[in-house]
Amino acid sequence: MRGRWYLVAGAVIALDQLTKWLAGSNLGLGEQVQMLPFFSWVLWHNDGAAFSLMSGLGGWQRWFFVGLAAAFAVFIVYELRRLPVGDWLQGLAYSLILGGALGNMVDRLMTGYVVDFVLLHWREYYFPAFNVADAALSCGAVLWVGCMIRDSRAERARAA
């Protein structure tokens, strides 16, 4: 039953790698193609973390982020093994986080940087470019926080 969460994580990794390959095959590095007034395709390489944090620090951050992703993946797998069978929302949160972390880890292992290709903007305001793995991580984190709030409320209700 828990194997479905590994399938979801695997689907996130596959979709992430496919879309990064498509971006790399169709765009030049630094190229930006306006699709809608608020959305562009781009091809950027990020050797840092979210928002290019720790970018350009000489390369050591590559292995730091690989280690961090690996450690977090082990933690998520442990949590998935402890997950009650019926808690599909928490399982989805964990699988999105796992797939996102491993998707970006694959990039770092193979190239030393993460490929970003989605750019959202409005007029002169730009959100940092991201990819499928980043989106999965973000959605998974939001779901995880929602599950923690749900569980906290349920615990308080039981205690009352």
Point out the residues that are catalytic.
Answer: 116, 134
Q: Which among 143, 135, 141, 120 is positioned nearest to 15, based on CA atoms?
A: 135
Which one-letter amino acid corresponds to residue 80? L
Cα distances (angstroms) measured from residue 42 to each of 19, 39, 71, 87, 104 = 12, 10, 30, 37, 17
* Six-digit token string for 87: 């808690």
First-last CA distance in the chain: 33
- Residues 111 and 109: their CA atoms lie apart, in Å, by 6
